[in-house]
Amino acid sequence: MSDFRELYQEIILDHSKSPRNFRPLVGATFDAEGFNPLCGDQVHVWLALDGDKVKDASFLGTGCAISKASASMMTQAVKGRSKKDTEALFTAFHRLVTGEAARAGDDPEALGKLAVFAGVSEFPVRVKCASLAWHTLKAALEGAKTPVSTE
């Protein structure tokens, strides 16, 4: 477990310091904004779909390391996925950070690197930080017109 914790801290630090796909997306087909008033995290997520496939994803945002790292890794994870696949990933990630996956015995390997966020489930306040970008992504895909709030 201590190796896991080290890996978790390393990955969160890396992605929060140099977030990937940290830019607005020209030619985006979907976008949405999200807020986590509890922590002050803000995120704007852009998606470019080509037919049913996510061709590109990006984000901009301010907030804590966990919210940034989660958004950064999410934009990497959804590229190349179908809309249905992206929604399935959202569900799997949500189950992971809420601890539901561990209770149900889901295979964490299915989430790849995102599995490091399992540690967040021990800190209820942080669950919203980790899932903010994902809720925003889902809202973007659903064509939400108003910003998402975790409250």
Q: Which residues bind Zn ion (CB under 5 A)?
A: 39, 41, 63-64, 67, 129
Shortest distance, position 135 Cβ to Zn ion, whole Å = 13
Considering beta carbons, is residue 57 or 129 the nearer one to Zn ion? 129
Considering beta carbons, is residue 83 or 94 the nearer one to Zn ion? 94
Q: Which residues are paired to 128 by β-bridges?
A: none
Shortest distance, position 41 Cβ to Zn ion, whole Å = 4
Considering beta carbons, is residue 67 or 131 the nearer one to Zn ion? 67
Shortest distance, position 49 Cβ to Zn ion, whole Å = 28
Q: Which two tokens stand for residue 16?
A: 């929060």
Task: Give the whole-angstrom CA distance, residue 107 versus residue 76.
Answer: 20
Considering beta carbons, is residue 39 or 144 the nearer one to Zn ion? 39
Q: Which two tokens stand for residue 132?
A: 């903010």
Q: Which two tokens stand for residue 19?
A: 């977030």
Which alpha helices (DSSP H) does 79-123 contain, by range?
Answer: 83-97, 100-104
Considering beta carbons, is residue 61 or 63 the nearer one to Zn ion? 63
Shortest distance, position 128 Cβ to Zn ion, whole Å = 7
The residue ranges of DSSP E strands in the chain, in sequence order, are 30-36, 41-50, 53-62, 148-149
Task: Give the whole-angstrom CA distance, residue 77 versus residue 56.
Answer: 10
Shortest distance, position 125 Cβ to Zn ion, whole Å = 8
